[in-house]
Amino acid sequence: GTPRPASGAAAAQLRQRLERELDEIRGAGTWKSERIIASRQGPHLRLAGGGAGACGAAGNALPRLLPVRSPRFSLSLPAGIINFCANNYLGLSSHPEVIRAAVEALEGFGAGLSSVRFICGTQSIHKDLEEKIARFHQREDAILYASCFDANAGIFEALLTPEDAVLSDELNHASIIDGIRLCKANKYRYKHMDMQDLEAKLQEAQKHRMRLVATDGAFSMDGDIAPLKEICQLAQKYDALVFIDECHATGFLGPNGRGTDELLGVMDKVTIINSTLGKALGGAAGGYTTGPKPLIDLLRQRSRPYLFSNSLPPAVVGCASKALDLLMESNAIAQSMAAKTQRFRSKMTAAGFTISGKDHPICPVMLGDARLAAVMAEDMLNRGIYVIGFSYPVVPKGKARIRVQISAVHSDEDIDRCVEAFTEVGRKHGALP
């Protein structure tokens, strides 16, 4: 039915206050709008309403378009674009076997559990997936959450008391920051990947019962990888535990895609891993913690986002479980993504751009100026290349960039078209000579 706004002075005041705040966000130029996709997630997309740009071949790659019912959207326009801004690193989000596994789980186990895990929300597929995650990471046990945001929100409070300390990289993901806020441990923030600063903070934190160093394995804004070897050495020296968030590493970093700890040879030194099922591992949703069995047992007793939130839906469990099967069978998909990443990074560097990070499919094209990043991203979309510009406050002032994310399902032609478009747009706007 038509909306019936709440009446009364308080509701009117609230509306006014919210409108003012929204105007401030618009005024600050930090408004985030959402483009509406009318196809499955993948290297080639259709934007609802025609979007911007047209890419002749793009539609061919779409297995089946979802109907968009709103009369505002016309799907008759050729609006195919090449997508370089999803975390679909391995292209499993629309993999036929992943979709089939979801359908089978839906049919076999229903739409959902209508329950938290400890009441009547645990099915055999949840236990199987937890066992598979632990095996994948070579850990003792794993626990599922509705998201990695929840996994990060739950772990610190359950594990650390006011007697303990947590040492966190200043550029850690928002969910780690929020999780740490929720716990009562003593908090130390060290400069981004700065081992001297971490050591100084570890020395300061010697007075506490237990120390936990928390870092993203790979940082999503810069595509840089935490120096885990050095972190683990310091942790050993100062008797600390290491926690890593592997959302931008699980499935594709390291020789077998196990993540940053495998890449840097410290699988036996990192105690706790949190990661997501919502990026490389099928992209549906869900998160987890994997590590020592007593820790996982404790999380099942104490972790609030686990205890007080619904079980993962069976279709979502089916997707992730199949994604892990595919990765444990072969590392060919991860290797193909690494080769494409290398192609993009080397061609862009040769064209004169600066790409932050190293060997990671997150390839931030550093531009500096916020307006330049915004107009270039818009112009890229006009050429059928979907990329997103990031500027302050998401990244530091003067460090605006366009973030490109490579996927195993991009073709070499897709990558080359992206580089060509960047070169044209960069010349046009003065980012290249």
Distance in Å, CB of 202 to ligand PLP, minimum: 23
67 burial (CB, 10 Å; 0-12 / 13-18 / 19+) is exposed
Give the integer Cα–Cα distance in Å for 75 and 336: 32
Residue 216 vs 414, nearer CB to ligand PLP = 216
- Residue 220 annotated to the active site: yes
Whole-number CA gyration radius for the chain: 23
Sheet arrangement for strand 80-83: 44-46, 80-83, 385-386
Residue 156 vs 353, nearer CB to ligand PLP = 156
**Number of residues that this document lists for the chain:** 433
The torsion angles phi and psi of 105, rounded to 5 degrees, stand at -65, -40
DSSP state of 324: H
- Residue 124 annotated to the active site: no
From the list 245, 249, 227, the residue with the least C-alpha distance to 362 is 249
Distance in Å, CB of 56 to ligand PLP, minimum: 32
Confirm if 211 and 202 have CB atoms less than 8 A apart: yes
Residue 123 vs 152, nearer CB to ligand PLP = 152
- The single residue of 39, 147, 220, 321 carrying the catalytic annotation is 220
Residue 249 vs 418, nearer CB to ligand PLP = 249
- Residue 248 annotated to the active site: yes
Confirm if 62 and 379 have CB atoms less than 8 A apart: no
CA 285 to chain centre: 11
For residue 384, what are its two tokens? Answer: 């059928």
Distance in Å, CB of 247 to ligand PLP, minimum: 4
- The single residue of 173, 201, 208, 248 carrying the catalytic annotation is 248
Distance in Å, CB of 124 to ligand PLP, minimum: 23
Residue 82 vs 148, nearer CB to ligand PLP = 148
Distance in Å, CB of 403 to ligand PLP, minimum: 12
Calculate helix-pair angle for 314-329, 124-137, nearest 10 degrees. 30
- The single residue of 126, 173, 208, 279 carrying the catalytic annotation is 279
Confirm if 209 and 163 have CB atoms less than 8 A apart: yes
Confirm if 323 and 282 have CB atoms less than 8 A apart: yes
Residue 39 vs 260, nearer CB to ligand PLP = 260
Binding site for ligand PLP (CB under 6 A): 147-149, 152, 173, 175, 216, 220, 245, 247-248, 276, 278, 287
* Residues that are catalytic: 220, 248, 279
